Amino acid sequence: MKAILVGFALLCAGCERVPETAARVAPDADAPLLAEIRSIPAIDNHAHPVRPTVDGQAPDRDYDALPVDNLEPASDPVRTRPAAPELARARAQVTRGDPAKVLDQLGIGTMLANRVAMGSGLPPDRFLWVPYADALMYPLANDAMIHNSDRKAFFALEETLLKRYYSESGVAARPATLDEYLGKVVRATLERHKQGGAVAEKFEMAYLRPLDIGNPAKAEAEAAWAGRGPHKALQDYIFRFIAAECGRLGMAVHFHTGAGAGSYFDVAGSNPMLLEPLLDDASLRRTNFVFLHGGWPFERQATALLMKPNAYADFSAQNFFNYPGELARTIRAWLEYVPEHVLFATDAYPYSAEAGWEETGYVAAATGREALAIALTGMLRDGEITRARASELARMVLRDNARALYQLK
Ligand SMILES: [Zn+2]
């Protein structure tokens, strides 16, 4: 193997691209297992597909409640930079256009589409809706939470989305009481989402405030509603109301966990360990919580939370900015602990004209599959599992765990 790699190095002296085969061969992966993993149509737990542009219509902006294309500049991780060879390879492999055909090229059967609204163009037999619930948590003035230009842009977007939720709920102005707001705007919005086919509600809370959700008394929340107390108590109270409603309606709660976009992103505040009190709250045990992105760089801490009956993690985004070897170590640790709670996902996202959701999805899907194969191969070679169990674990991560979680056919 070393000789082959040296050969590539000589062959490639002076060229900047990683040779196609060197990156695709995944030397630490058992070849038949990798082939099997590549043949399984996946359920993608989290992604941002974009509707194809129709002539005369404005470009789609519903692919994220908080699009990250207008932030102050940050230093991008190496693997996500425009010149990354992985992206060049993806551009060569993926044909844009028909979203269902894009899924076919990515080996994805069903994609959970995290979007403000679905609109037309994303066929409902392939794309399942995950709308956003953050806006409902911030019904008062948010000036005190704005410390930089990124937050300013984010809260403006949440305030616009909250207006949309008011209007869709048929409520013209902020109700006099918190109870009225919870019933007529919050519950009404969640029920509308459920009616519209939503399988989960997504929180981008980590972009707006830390994930340290308290358990305030209703009186504290009502005081804040009346302008006589800290807004955090109100936010936390509303969040718990939403989480309980999601349990009642059979929708999961998705959290962005771990590092995020932008140079002001509060990484420490995104640690999924901050969510442990929610997982331990007996009154919320009907609600399933999903840590999107697996909480990286706290992914090892997140491992311990997977033993809670209602805690799940996916490895989306990690499979875009991390290399297969590093991701394989994470997946292996999760699979050795509670494999039933591990989900495949891409976080396919339109970052730029060159890196659309199609290409970032392709890189993430290919990397995720290679990493899964490397993780299972290591477990197989160390005598932890049989070959039959390796196949079974692959199907669970790629498809069956999500099927059970969202009660899909
Ligand atoms: Zn995302």
For 270-323, the pLDDT digits (tens) are 999 999 999 999 999 999 999 999 999 999 999 999 999 999 999 999 999 999
End-to-end CA distance of the chain, in Å? 43
pTM equals: 0.93
CB within 5 A of ion ligand 1: which residues?
Answer: 347
The neighbouring-strand residues paired with 292 are: 256
CA of 147 to the centre of ligand 1 (A): 23
Check whether 11 has a pLDDT greater than 50.
Answer: no
**pLDDT per position as a tens digit, 322-353:** 999 999 999 999 999 999 999 999 999 999 88
CA of 91 to the centre of ligand 1 (A): 21
**pLDDT per position as a tens digit, 376-407:** 999 999 999 999 999 999 999 999 999 999 99
CA of 347 to the centre of ligand 1 (A): 5
CA of 197 to the centre of ligand 1 (A): 19
SS3 126: coil
What per-residue confidence (pLDDT) applies to 145?
A: 93
CA of 365 to the centre of ligand 1 (A): 14
Residues 6+ apart with CB under 8 A from 217: none
CA of 112 to the centre of ligand 1 (A): 10
CA of 115 to the centre of ligand 1 (A): 9
**pLDDT per position as a tens digit, 245-260:** 999 999 999 999 999 9
What per-residue confidence (pLDDT) applies to 91?
A: 94
What per-residue confidence (pLDDT) applies to 25?
A: 62
CA of 241 to the centre of ligand 1 (A): 23
What per-residue confidence (pLDDT) applies to 171?
A: 98
CA of 336 to the centre of ligand 1 (A): 26
CA of 409 to the centre of ligand 1 (A): 24
Decide if 347 contacts 258 (C-beta within 8 A). no
Structure tokens belonging to residue 177: 């009481």
